[in-house]
Structure formats: structure tokens, C-alpha cells
Structure 1
Amino acid sequence: MTALRFILIGLGARSRIWRRVLKEHPDCSLVGLVETDRDRLAGVLAETAGAVGGISLDEVAAEVEADVALLCTPPGGRQSQVAAACAAGLGILAEKPLADTLTDAESYVIAAKEAGVPIAVGLNFRYLAVTQALKSLFSPDRLGPPEFGRFTYERWRDGRLPNLNKYPMSMKQPMLWEQSIHHFDLMRFVYGVEPVCISARTFNPSWSMYDGDANVGALITFTGGLEVTYQGTWAGNWQKMGFEWRTECQRGVALQQEMFGALSYAIRDDPELTPVPLPESEPWVDDARALLADFVSHFRKGIPLPCPGTDHLNSLRMVEACIRSSNGEGTVSLCEQ
């Protein structure tokens, strides 16, 4: 059987991880590279035996037989890439977010459906060991259903570092589109609920290096009455990361104190927290491996498409609701309870 053939579009920071996990997967082959920076393209082509390179997906797709377009480009301006993938009959796996407007993301999902190609989004945090373990704590025989929570993410993200993408520096809402989208998706995935309404405020402190708002505060109501208080920032003015996700359930609490681990729980009368054992993992890489494995299995075994674009739209609607609320609309309704 021929390996699943990928064309990688965009050779920035995230592409390094995808090139690594594609090379490791026994049923994947990287056959094409697309990059507008010709020097960067030449450098990666020299490291990728047998791959065809070009400055557009149209150009490369015409030269090589492929199955999947893997979009590692900035979320803004993907119209031509999605159109080219659909025209060539390529499945689409896109780095999150799918677009930097809800309207564009919806149009991409529609285009893929009309072309008969799958479209998935790289929400790799769903595949973290800590995420899977946290989700399991909410079973009826453990902590029971969650009823309210608090999610805090405080980070000094130095956008000048060479290993980070630079385009968020000029985005209008960098925290929401690039980071909070992960957090909103995790809430929906872990809790198994959908957002009902959101009240939010975004702003930028005086020391922020970002053009757009790097701070987000939100009150989120989900189906079933679950309430979450959210605070996220890329301009936390200390280099040490601050992360805490606490969830209050019928029988006790779940507490995640690091982005990639430090999970524990307690029943109401417990004197101490009980740590949850987690397997050793390489953040960013092992979760990408797991997502890729499910994506390949969709093609090979017919399992449900992981992180489909249709599902991703519900997280993007949360982002848009935060923007609308902060712009003066007050509490924004998303769906009926």
C-alpha cells in the first residue's frame, strides 16, 4: 500500500514538528513543500529526499501525486490554499485556528464539504496525556459531573524568540485567536458541553509587545449550567509560567497546575490532593504524533475524522463572542441551553 502522501504548506516554526512526526510515521510520506521564502524552501528541500518544492500549492499539486495538504501557514489569508486543496481533491489538515475570522472558517468548511474532502484542525492539546486523564476524572464513579471551574493562563510570550511564529505580533486579537482557542476547545472537549453565552473583556497592558490585545477575561456559561471563569494573557510580566485549571464537581475537585501535567484531585473531605500518575511524554511532539495517527486511521480504517472543521467552528464562535462582548455587546448568546 502506498503511504499517505502529504504536501506541507508553510515552513515556519510549527512545520518542524510536523516534518519530524511525518518522517517517523511508517504510513506517511512528505512529497511536497510549499513556501514563499525561497531560501527557506531550498534549505528544507535539501533535507527532504524526493520532495517537490514550489511557492504555491497549485504549483506543487500539479507536479506530484498527493493525498493531504497540511497547512502550517498563518490563519489569515488561507483562501487560495484551501481552494487549491479542494481543486486537487486533497484532504486538509490545518494548524489551528482554521482562520482568523469565523466567516472565513465557515467558508472553508463549506468548500471542503462541496469538494468531498475531509478538513481537520490540529488541536493537538486534546491528545495530551493530562487532557485525557482530566477528562476521565469526571466520570460518575469518580468526581462526577463538573458544575463550575476556573481556568488561568499567565504567560510572558516573547514573540521575538526565533522558535516562535512572528505573525501574532501584528494580529488584532493574538491571545484569543492563537492561544485561547486552545483553551476553549479543551473546555468543550474535556467537559463534553457546548457554550451558551459569554461575557468578556480584552485589553493590552502598557508593556505588551503585541499590537493587539494580549489579555482576555471571560465568564462562560455552558450547556447544563456549567460556569467557567477564564483569564488568559501573553503579557504576564514575569517569565515564570502561571497555569491553573480547577474544576468543581459533585463529589470533589480536579486541579491541573501545569500546562502539560501536575494533575491531581480531591474528594470534599480529603486532607490532601491525590496526584494522578501520567506517562512520560514529549510535549508538542507526542500529542502531534497521536493526532496524526488518528488522522491517518481516518483514511485507512474509516474511524471518525479527528478534530473536524465542523466541530472547530464551535470554538471559533467562542472567540468571536469574546470579541463582540468586549466591543460593547455585553453578554453574547451562542445557543439555547
Structure 2
Amino acid sequence: MTAGTSGPLRVVLVGAGGMGKAWLATILADPAVELAGVVDLDLAAAEAALVAAGVPHVATGRDAVEVAVRTGAQAIVNVTVPQAHHPVTTAALFAGFPVLGEKPVASTVAQGLSLAAASEVTGQPFLVSQSRRYNVHVEQFRAQAAVLGDLGSLSTEFFKAPRFGGFREEMAQPLLVDMAIHQFDLARYLLDAEPVSVYCESWNPSWSWYGGDASASAVFEMSSGARYSFVGSWCAPGAETSWNGAWRLSGADGSAVWNGDDAPVLDAGGVPADAVDPGEGIAGSLAAFTAFLQEGRPFSGEVHDNVLSLAMVEAAVESAATGARVLVDDVLQRAHEQALAEEQRDDVAAALKGWPSVREALTR
């Protein structure tokens, strides 16, 4: 499952919006990657992005597979809006292209399950860029976790006051849906455990400039028995935390804290292993994708693994709406039923039906 080349990995970038431009700069800066084309439904936007980046002669188009075939690309980087993740990635996988996609894996867990099955059917990898895993301090914090003995609790405080304008200020759950997946995904990674259940409350302070709930508090039971707690707000001016949040991890043999920006601090007797620098943000994610395809190195965001991070978001939103504790397996089961009802491809539907259970399919 490799690109089969010793030279730079030729990729087509899909999406020329704000994040697309960030990925464009990252691709151009990576000597192990070569930009084959840029795709956007707004062709003028794709062309303008290339001109601004100083590479006006790179191929453009409105269809990712067509441009990838025309340019001899070897992989596709999908940076479209979440609603387009499923159709763009599905088409790419069935055309024989590995895909690196922006988070979330898809708009819904059901679509994420469809993409996991599509990856199985095609044999093509779909990797999701959870870019906040690519941070040397995260790796140091994870190494510290390994010397704390049995882990009892992990917590994140996240308080920011961004004024985005646009769609985020109109969402029903802007904090949980658009931001918290970063912290939820890191919690899985740091605890090396999967979500079992969640109780969540969300609300909107009187001074909020968001239409939906900009504040939330959630407690997850994890498969290890540990609890992960998240409290945050996107309308909290003053004493703001890092965009990564402020973290505390407690175990039988001590604790570790991380302010989200600087090196984490360990208060325990053990000596953690040296942490490997994975690169920073989307640059680290892109480098890992290339190394996965060309050298077979591990990548932590394979689609099956990543779906559980989105399931944490859906479970938290459901809990906030119902006022009840929500089992993640119930969310997964309903998503599986929805995926089967919505699936347009018989081969993907057959793969979904063949799973012994959703959780087993995602974690095997």
C-alpha cells in the first residue's frame, strides 16, 4: 500500500479556502511532496490561490479524480468543507488514490463509518489529519503518562474568546462540534483508551456573541476506567488558555500538567522516555502521510481509529440535548444503521454488514 516511488509524492489538493491555502503553503514547503494540482468548485479561487503562492502554472480543475488522473498524481489531500468530505474521499478511494483528509473524518459518524468501509473495499488508505497530535509537547506529555502508573483522570480547560463571524457564530453547538474534537482526540491518544460514555451540559452565557451554545462541560468514562473531563468556552475573554487547552493528568504514582504551549511538567518519581518530535501541526501530519505511503511508517489517524473521536463529539452533543448520560456504543450502533440506510454502493454496504460490531471493526 505504498506510492511506489522514491521521488516526491505527487498530490492534488482539494479545497482553496482558508485551510486550503494553509495546506497549499505546507505542501510547497515540503521537499518530499510535489503539488500536482489544486481543485475547487470555484475555479477562480483555485487559480488565485496558486498565483498568490507563486506557482500559477500548476494544474487546476473542479474534480479531484479528473485532475489527479490528468496530472499523474499519487495521492489526494482533501481540505474541503466537512459536508464534502464523504463524496470527495469516496470518489478518490474508488479511483485508486490514497487520501489525507482534514478533520473531522466526515460530517457525521455514519458517513465516517461509510468511509472506513470504503477504505476496506478499495484497499486504499484514508488518513485523517488530527493536526494537534503533531506537537513535541504532546509526545512529551504522553511519555510522562507512561510513568504515572494507573491513570485515574485527565482534564482539559479550554477558554478562548475568538470572534470568527460567519458560520461558527450561527452553529447550534460551535464549541463542541467545531473545536472540542481536537481535545477529545488528544484525550484518547494520551490515555491510550477509548470512550465508553459521556455526560455533557452546554449553555450560552448572556454576553455571548454566538447564536448557539458556546460553553460546555463534559465527563467521559474511558475504557481504562479513567475519567476525562472537558470544560470550555469560546466566549471567555480574559486569562485565556492556549488553543490546545490546559491539561492535568493524574495517576497512582504522580501527576503531570501541560499549559498547552510549553513543555509539560512531571511531578512523579519515574523518568519518562525521550519523546520523538513528530513535526508541527499540518506539516507534521503531511510528513507522516508521506512516510506512511512511501516507507510504511505508522500513522495515528487512520480512518477506523479516527471515527471514535467524532463519536465522542456526537455523544456529547446528544447528552447536552437530552440531559442524560449517553453510551458511545449506542451512538455507534445508530450511526451504523444510518450508514446502511444511506449507503449508495452495494460493495460498501456489504462491508458494513459484515462487521461483527462497530466498535470491534473500528478498533481491531
Cα distance in 2 for partners of 1:92, 1:110 equals 14
Relative to 1, partners in 2 of residues 1:279 and 1:236: Cα closer, same or farther, differing over 3 Å?
Answer: farther
Structure 1 match to 2:10: 5
Indicate the SS of the match to 2:145: coil
Structure 2 match to 1:309: 303
Q: Does 1:286 align with 2:280?
A: yes
Give 1:84-95 correspondences, 5 Å limit.
84-95=91-102
Relative to 1, partners in 2 of residues 1:261 and 1:128: Cα closer, same or farther, differing over 3 Å?
Answer: same
For structure 2, list consecutive stretches of 5 or more residues without a partner in the other structure: 1-5, 330-358, 360-364
Task: Give the drift of 1:59.
Answer: 4.1
Structure 2 match to 1:272: none
Cα distance in 2 for partners of 1:77, 1:210 equals 25
Task: Give the drift of 1:41.
Answer: 1.7
Cα distance in 1 for partners of 2:210, 2:70 equals 40
How many residues are paired up? 319
Cα distance in 1 for partners of 2:305, 2:275 equals 28
Q: Does 1:32 align with 2:37?
A: yes
Q: Is the 8 A contact 2:59 2:71 kept in 1?
A: yes
Q: Deviations over 1:256-312 (max 9, x none)?
A: 12x2325212249xxxxxxxx99999xxx8232222222111111122343101011
Structure 1 match to 2:267: 266
Q: Does 1:56 align with 2:77?
A: no
Cα distance in 1 for partners of 2:170, 2:116 equals 26
Give 1:295-334 correspondences, 5 Å limit.
295-328=289-322, 330-334=324-328
Relative to 1, partners in 2 of residues 1:80 and 1:149: Cα closer, same or farther, differing over 3 Å?
Answer: closer
Cα distance in 2 for partners of 1:169, 1:105 equals 25
Output the amino acid matched with 2:286: L
Give 1:144-223 correspondences, 5 Å limit.
144-160=149-165, 166-223=166-223
Cα distance in 1 for partners of 2:92, 2:130 equals 20
Structure 2 match to 1:133: 140
Indicate the SS of the match to 2:291: helix
Q: Is the 8 A contact 2:40 2:62 kept in 1?
A: yes
Q: Is the 8 A contact 2:68 2:74 kept in 1?
A: no
Relative to 1, partners in 2 of residues 1:301 and 1:58: Cα closer, same or farther, differing over 3 Å?
Answer: closer
For structure 1, list consecutive stretches of 5 or more residues without a partner in the other structure: 161-165, 269-276
Output the amino acid matched with 1:194: E
Q: Is the 8 A contact 2:145 2:249 kept in 1?
A: no
Relative to 1, partners in 2 of residues 1:147 and 1:111: Cα closer, same or farther, differing over 3 Å?
Answer: same
Q: Is the 8 A contact 1:291 1:306 kept in 2?
A: no
Cα distance in 2 for partners of 1:322, 1:115 equals 32
Indicate the SS of the match to 2:321: helix
Task: Give the drift of 1:37.
Answer: 3.1
Q: Which range is displaced more, 285-294 or 197-206?
A: 285-294
Q: Deviations over 1:45-70 (max 9, x none)?
A: 32225421122324423432212111
Structure 1 match to 2:50: 45
Indicate the SS of the match to 2:193: coil
Q: Is the 8 A contact 2:86 2:112 kept in 1?
A: no
Indicate the SS of the match to 1:36: coil
Task: Give the drift of 1:255.
Answer: 0.8
More helix by share: 2
1:122 corresponds to which of 115, 126, 129: 129
Cα distance in 2 for partners of 1:146, 1:265 equals 14
Task: Give the drift of 1:82.
Answer: 1.8
Structure 1 match to 2:230: 230
Indicate the SS of the match to 2:83: coil
Q: Is the 8 A contact 1:61 1:88 kept in 2?
A: no
Structure 1 match to 2:258: 256
Indicate the SS of the match to 1:131: helix
Cα distance in 1 for partners of 2:208, 2:69 equals 44
Q: Which range is displaced more, 313-322 or 19-28?
A: 19-28
Relative to 1, partners in 2 of residues 1:278 and 1:88: Cα closer, same or farther, differing over 3 Å?
Answer: closer
More strand by share: 1
**What percentage of residue pairs aligned between the two structures are identical?**
26
Cα distance in 2 for partners of 1:130, 1:26 equals 25
Relative to 1, partners in 2 of residues 1:241 and 1:224: Cα closer, same or farther, differing over 3 Å?
Answer: closer
Structure 2 match to 1:163: none
